Chains A and B, each alone.
Chain A
Amino acid sequence: GAGVSQSPSNKVTEKGKDVELRCDPISGHTALYWYRQSLGQGLEFLIYFQGNSAPDKSGLPSDRFSAERTGGSVSTLTIQRTQQEDSAVYLCASSLAIREGRGDTQYFGPGTRLTVL
């Protein structure tokens, strides 16, 4: 009965480096969401997956951000050429996505705290 897991829990990197953040959703959950939580911006939506496809990438802040999901399970969020403003907690959530998905509960992981020096 594992919940959503994320790794690493903490990541410190230097400006300009690339980072990969991983999310393991709850088994059987077809929908997967990435959010970012920062002091200045609060909780922001980044991207949504239904299965392996991403119908909504509207929240990705720049083309340095990308994400993929394979096998309808694990997802990776990649940030290229990191900047200091990318420092935040990156949260992943998953849901069953029955019906249209609006009322489904999203279960959140503990997050990855990214610090860009």
Chain B
Amino acid sequence: AQSVTQLGSHVSVSEGALVLLRCNYSSSVPPYLFWYVQYPNQGLQLLLKYTSAATLVKGINGFEAEFKKSETSFHLTKPSAHMSDAAEYFCAVSHAGGTSYGKLTFGQGTILTVHP
């Protein structure tokens, strides 16, 4: 079975500071991992995904994530936060096999607040 855990339901940073959102996964097979962002009253938008190619994945809006198998982690980072980054972020793992191809299991989400 696959699962993800996001450490920290709320993260607050200053504008211009480093953003680090943590995600750890559990998977019995090589995982496919995703980060999605949700702005208020909107659906989810894909930031980036890991599909067993390069371990450092670059996404939109300056975000990137590094897959570390030894730590079972897929943390999301951005060197310099912008006010527009304030949103809720979800880490997800895609299921493999059986009838559940592509089904996503999400973490509980992390609300990012950016203050001036």
Contacts and interface: CB of A to CB of B under 8 A. Distances in A.
A binds B: yes
Given A102-B94, A102-B96, A103-B51, A48 B103 contact: yes
Interface string B66-100: 00000000000000000000000010101110111
A106 B102 contact: yes
Nearest to B44: A108
B116 interface: no
A66 to B, nearest CB: 17
29 contacts: A4-B43, A31-B101, A31-B102, A33-B104, A35-B104, A42-B108, A42-B109, A43-B104, A43-B106, A45-B103, A45-B105, A55-B99, A56-B99, A56-B103, A93-B44, A97-B101, A97-B102, A100-B101, A102-B32, A102-B94, A103-B51, A103-B52, A103-B94, A105-B34, A106-B104, A108-B36, A108-B43, A108-B44, A110-B41
Interface string B40-57: 011111100101100000
Contacts of B102: 31, 33, 48, 95, 97, 100-102, 104, 106
A112 to B, nearest CB: 11
A91 interface: yes
A111 B38 CA distance: 11
B43 A105 contact: no
Contact of A109 (B43, B46, B99, B100): B43
B18 to A, nearest CB: 26
Sorted nearest first, the 8 A-B pairs with minimum C-beta distance are A101-B102, A55-B99, A108-B43, A103-B51, A101-B101, A43-B106, A108-B44, A56-B99
A108 B108 contact: no
A91 B44 contact: yes
A93 B38 CA distance: 14
Nearest to A58: B100
Contacts of B49: 103, 105
